[in-house]
A and B are shown apart, each in its own frame.
Chain A
Amino acid sequence: MGILEIKGVNKRFGGLQALGDVNLSIAENTVHAIIGPNGAGKSTLLNVLVGKLIPDSGSVMFDGQSILGRQPYEINQMGISRVFQTPEIFADLTVFENVMIPCFAKRDGAFRLHALGSVGHETDIHETAEAILEDVDMLEKRHMIASSLSRGDKRRLEMAMCLVQKPRLLLLDEPTAGMARADTNNTIDLLKEIKAKRDITMAIIEHDMHVVFSLAERITVLAQGTPLVEDTPENIKGHPKVREAYLGEAQV
């Protein structure tokens, strides 16, 4: 029984079957990659997992609880964090404020009227935020405005914002899309480091085979909205059906 169990999920947009009978199980503490050619339904599946889309049928269970019909913030409170394709941060706040906000969300829940407290006096929040910035090596940049960070640092910051909430499942939507090779390798190292330091399950939706084969322990190949195969990276590399559907064009 995995931490995330997707059973018989269907999603149709007009005449297009975006997801057709998707069954997928992600085991706890693994890095699970979901790959597939353009239009395979990767993004649709991700949007179902974060609560942006509700499937037409099927069930999605996280740790034994259904997430269907829940708002994105409720799903986050259950322990699922999401990293976006382009880093989504609070651009006009400082790095430190960026990290404090998820700390408050984790501690205070979805809403708490905390209008006469003082951010400056929240020592426990400060300690947690400092620790995570230390962790991703950004402590000396804490007073910078987030929009002035380099792209790689923005990615690091977003990662820190997700990790500080200690999620049980981290969803990564093409974390290296549009990056130069050096940046991609840095991101891979960062993710490896993150994984090595804590118990966390990661689901990576990715285009870049280099990233997938460097990180993933299990790989699911989606094609035309349906999982084609699920296996270890070694077996996926040589799988004839996968080559045919996907890797043939990608030249691995």
Chain B
Amino acid sequence: MFGMNRKDTILFVVVCVMVLLAPIFLNPFPTESAFSQFNAGYPALMQRFVIFGILVIGFNILFGLTGYLSFGHAAFLGVGSFAAVWMFKLLSYNIVPAIVLSVVVSGLFAVVIGYVSLRRSGIYFSILTLAFAQMMYSIAYSDLVGKILGFPITNGETGLQVYNDDPQFLLGNGPTTPHLFGWEMNGSVTWDIGGWSFVFHNGYYLAGLFMILSFYIAIRIFRSPFGLILRSIKSNQQRLNYMGVSTRPYMLTAFVISGMYAGLAGGLLASMDPLTGAERMFWTASGEIVIMSILGGVGTLIGPILGAGVIKYMENIISTINDTVVHGWFGFMPDGLEDFVVAIVHPFIGKGWHLTLGLVFMAVVIFLPGGLVELGQRIGAKFSRKKTTDVASSTKTPAE
């Protein structure tokens, strides 16, 4: 279907259904229950799932296929956000020009950075991309360009946002929050069913549709002749050169595509909340993208999306668990024991969520080098083996 083979179509449909129904199944616990804080089905978090999903889908086209590890990808995210906020400031809150410009501008930055960085491979490539990203972060943080031009471009530490006296030439009587031709991003419909409360948020669905589109394009690239050449670059670049393939333009194209994905993610972040700052480009943000990819499964289609989801979930859910909550869980224990257990759990929750993430990451890298996708494959293999033995023992006819 749509130029995809059967397996990819199934995967694609599953992702579509997950995106569409996420507000329901990410809210499994009733609002009043003790577990409701594990619910992830609120708009701000779901938006992050799909937007960072787009970011890592694009990153995976570069890192997963070609093996070139960019350690400065957050720079494109930041550039996309700044471009989008500038469109809000200059034109209006319509997100169409904002998203178009964020993709175009980050693509242009990717052409320049890629052209220089791709002269080297391996660790030197990573360091070059890191250096570029940090330079861009510093320029944005100190608003160097703005100082030269005499008016703020990135607005330094304060960050860029829309003010009432901004030109907004096309605003007219239009909405004063980001919207798609009048359909406001922060609008939502809430369903209260029993103890549950499901929020269907416009901004989430817009970002979700973009993720579905991004995912579809990524599938097509993975299965295309272009994707095959990218995979062979990872495998043996020298052989490819002696086979009549000029690897540099292939690499640059992959780099620019993945930069544009990051720019789209940045534009969407700004469309959900029309302000941005330089910290979006900091190197830890780039590192997070790498960790998401590896956690989920580099080079697989679905892996990076899972990785992004797990990390954003931990960042937003585990970090909100505090000692009081844990006391509530272990309240049935005798006092001394309860305090002891809480003291043990304490470093892993709240601000300590990074520690939990670190342990999970180490466990995955050591025991599941293929990431969460490998976990899924192993479980799947176990089940299918059971199934075939069941079939063999219960009936005499072979399965198939």
Contacts and interface: CB of A to CB of B under 8 A. Distances in A.
Interface string B132-152: 000000000000000000000
A166 to B, nearest CB: 12
A72 B242 contact: yes
A27 interface: no
A114 B225 contact: yes
A106 B240 CA distance: 12
Nearest to B249: A111
Nearest to B230: A115
Nearest to B239: A88
A105 to B, nearest CB: 4
B168 to A, nearest CB: 37
A10 interface: no
B11 to A, nearest CB: 15
B239 A118 contact: no
Contacts of A88: 236, 238-239, 242
Given A88-B238, A115-B221, A77 B228 contact: no
A50 interface: yes
Given A88-B239, A92-B235, A100-B228, A110 B244 contact: yes
A50 B242 contact: yes
Contacts of B249: 110-111
B243 interface: yes
Interface in A80-107: 81-82, 84, 88-93, 97, 100-102, 104-106
Contacts of B243: 73, 76, 81, 101-102, 105, 161, 165
B227 interface: yes
A102 B229 CA distance: 10
Contacts of A14: none
A165 B241 CA distance: 14
Nearest to A162: B243
Interface string B235-270: 110111111111101100100010000000000000
A115 B220 contact: yes
B232 interface: yes
Contact of A90 (B224, B232, B242): B232
The size bracket of the interface on A is 35 or more
B121 to A, nearest CB: 16
B239 A117 contact: no
B232 A101 contact: yes
Contacts of B245: 73, 101, 105, 110-111
Interface in A53-77: 71-73, 76-77
Given A82-B242, A89-B239, A90-B235, A120 B5 contact: yes
B223 interface: yes
Contacts of B257: 115
B242 A76 contact: yes
B223 A118 contact: yes
A119 B246 contact: no
A118 B224 CA distance: 4
Given A91-B235, A104-B229, A110-B246, A73 B224 contact: no
B3 interface: yes
Contacts of B235: 90-93
A104 B225 contact: yes
B238 A115 contact: no
B226 interface: yes
Contact of A116 (B5, B220, B238, B240): B220
Nearest to B238: A88
Of the candidates B221, B228, B240, B245, the one having the most CB atoms from chain A within 10 angstroms of its own CB is B245
Contact of B231 (A89, A93, A102, A115): A93
A100 B245 CA distance: 13
A69 B234 CA distance: 26
B239 A105 contact: no
Given A97-B228, A101-B229, A120-B5, A91 B244 contact: no
B267 to A, nearest CB: 21
B228 A104 contact: yes
Contacts of A104: 225, 228-229
Contacts of B242: 50, 72-73, 76, 81-82, 84, 88
B236 A108 contact: no
Nearest to A125: B225
Contacts of A90: 231-232, 235-236, 239
Nearest to B245: A105
Interface in B188-233: 217, 220-221, 223-229, 231-232
Nearest to A100: B228
Given A101-B232, A110-B245, A115 B5 contact: no
A234 interface: no
Contacts of A77: 244
Interface in A119-171: 119-122, 161, 165
B225 A122 contact: yes
A121 B220 CA distance: 12
Contact of A101 (B5, B223, B240, B246): B240
A249 to B, nearest CB: 32
Nearest to A83: B242
Nearest to A114: B225
A119 B228 CA distance: 8
A1 interface: no
Contact of B226 (A100, A102, A115): A115
Interface of A: 50, 71-73, 76-77, 81-82, 84, 88-93, 97, 100-102, 104-106, 108-122, 161, 165
Given A77-B244, A104-B229, 5 more contacts: A73-B247, A91-B235, A100-B228, A101-B243, A116-B221
8 contacts: A72-B241, A76-B241, A81-B242, A101-B240, A102-B244, A105-B244, A115-B224, A119-B224
Closest 9 pairs (CB-CB, A-B): A76-B244, A110-B246, A90-B235, A115-B226, A105-B244, A114-B225, A88-B239, A111-B249, A77-B244
Interface of B: 3, 5, 217, 220-221, 223-229, 231-232, 234-236, 238-247, 249-250, 253, 257
